[in-house]
Structure 1
Amino acid sequence: MNALTACLDLYLVSDKPSDDQPSASEIPDDVWEQFTRDTERDIRASAPKEPSARARMVTERLREQEARGELPPGWRTGPSLEMNGRSARRRKLWAALGVPVAVAVALVALKPSLLPGDPFGTGESRAAAASPLPDETTAPTAPPGASDPETPTLDEPFAGSPALRWADGEAGIVLPGAKAVGAVPKGRVEQALKLTRKLLIAANLDPGTVRGERPEAALSVLDPEQPEILDRFDTALRSPSREHDPLTLFTRFDPDEIRLVGDVIKTRGRMTFGKGSHGGVAVHADYTFVYPVSRADGSTEVTRTIVRRVLDVELADPARYRTTPGRLVVLNYDEEVGNTACDVDDGYLHPQFPSSGDRGPDPAGPTTDPYDRSRSLDEGHSCGTVTRT
Structure 2
Amino acid sequence: MGWDNNGQSPAARAVSGAFGIVVAVGLAVLVVRPELMPWREAGDVKPLAAETARPSAAPSEEAFPDRPTLREPFKGSPALVWADGVKGIELPQAKAVGWMSKDQVAAALSTTKNFLVAANLDPAVIKGDKPVAALALLDPKQPDVRSSMEKGLVKPTEVDDPTLLFSRFSPAEVRLVGSVVKTRGRMTLENGKGEWADHVLIRTDYTFVYPVVKVRPGAEAVTRTVVRRQITFSLPDPDEYVVTKGKLSVSEWSANVGNDDCDHPVDGFYHPMFDEDLMALPDTGASGPATDPYDRSKDLDELPQECGTSTRN
Shorter-chain TM range is 0.7 to 0.9
**Equivalent position of 2:141 in the other structure:** 225
CA gap of 1:278–1:219, structure 2 versus 1, over 3 A, is farther
- Structure 1's 171 and 320: CA in aligned 2 closer, same or farther, altered over 3 A? same
2:258 aligned to which of 307, 325, 338: 338
Change (3 A) 1:375 1:150: same
Matched, 1:174 2:90: yes
Give the count of matched residue pairs. 263
Letter paired with 1:319: D
Aligned in 2, Cα 1:135/1:188: closer, same or farther, shift over 3 Å? Answer: same
Which has a greater percent of strand? 2
Mapped contact 1:153–1:302 kept (Cα < 8 A): no
**Deviations 1:255-301 (Å, cap 9, x if unpaired)?**
11001000000000000001132524210000000000000014111
RMSD: 1.7
Partner of 1:132: 47
1:261–1:164: structure 2 CA closer, same or farther, 3 Å change rule?
A: same
Shift of 1:160: 0.3
Q: TM-score of the superposition, structure 2-length normalised?
A: 0.80
Counterpart Cα distance in 2 of 1:189 and 1:351: 38
The residue number in structure 2 matching 1:370 is 293
Question: Is 1:383 the counterpart of 2:311 in the alignment?
Answer: no
1:65-214 matches, cutoff 5 A: 130-147=45-62, 149-214=65-130
Q: Contact 2:98 / 2:200 at 8 angstroms: preserved in 1?
A: no
| Partner in structure 1 of residue 160 of structure 2 | 244
TM-score, scaled relative to structure 1: 0.65
Q: Which whole-Å CA distance do the structure 1 matches of 2:168 and 2:312 have between them? A: 21
The Cα of 1:183 is off from its aligned counterpart by 3.9
CA contact (8 A) 1:152 1:303 kept: no
Paired residue secondary structure (2:300): coil
* SS of aligned partner of 2:260: coil
Measure how far apart 1:127 and its partner are.
6.1
Residue type at the aligned position of 1:192: A
**How many percent of aligned residue pairs carry the same amino acid?**
49
Tell me the residue number matched to 2:247.
327
Question: Would you say the 8 A contact 1:316–1:328 is kept in 2?
Answer: no
1:279 pairs with 2:279 = no
User: How has the CA–CA distance of structure 1 residues 189 and 249 changed in structure 2, closer, same or farther, with 3 Å as cutoff?
Assistant: same
Q: Secondary structure at the match of 1:191?
A: helix
| C-alpha distance after superposition, 1:98-127 (max 9, x if no partner) | xxxxxxxxxxxxxxxxxxxxxxxxxxxx96
Structure 2 Cα separation of the partners of residues 380 and 200 of structure 1: 25
Looking at secondary structure, tell me which structure has more helix per residue: 1
User: Pick from 180, 183, 192: which aligns with 1:267?
Assistant: 183
Q: Structure 2 stretches of 5 or more lacking a match?
A: 1-41
User: What displacement does 1:312 show?
Assistant: 0.3
> Could you tell me how far apart the structure 1 residues matched to 2:253 and 2:180 are?
25
